[in-house]
Amino acid sequence: MIDTISRGLLGKVGSAILDFYIENALWINGLVLAYALIVVLANYARQQIEGEIKQYFNKIYGQNLMNKGEAWFKKTLEHNRLDWEALARSTWIPIVSKNHSIGLRFKSTGSLEEIFTPDYISTLFADEEE
């Protein structure tokens, strides 16, 4: 009875999609789980790189970076560029993702520069304050 009601609400196209899902649920759920695990690994890689960036700034400029703004980080990064290749080598995971994102990027110097902008780096140190 529940099946009849739900299929009536779904219509022909929805019922066809439901049948496809029921027949292939193992593969579909396996792909979703695999992607979720890859996203977790990419977030772990991003966190490792964040730690390396924090360590670098703390070593060079001292511990009191919480009050510095985006403009200071932008100016500092223009004069003293980060070694993106060394940061990429800091983790074995070949993918990285932005914070709070399920999108994935291959770990390269270009993708790291896009993810770790001066604004984002300044928020890393602002989060330490809390």
- pLDDT one digit per residue (tens) for the chain, 130 residues: 888 888 888 889 988 999 999 999 999 999 999 999 999 999 999 999 999 998 888 888 776 777 777 788 788 888 878 888 999 999 999 999 998 899 999 999 999 999 998 888 888 877 554 4
Tally of domains in the chain = 1
The pLDDT, as a whole number, for residue 69 is 75
Q: Domain span at residue 53? A: 2-129
Alpha-carbon distances, residue 110 vs 8, 48, 105 (angstroms): 50, 17, 10
Q: How many CB atoms lie within 10 A of CB 27?
A: 9
Say what the pTM is.
0.79
The pLDDT, as a whole number, for residue 31 is 97
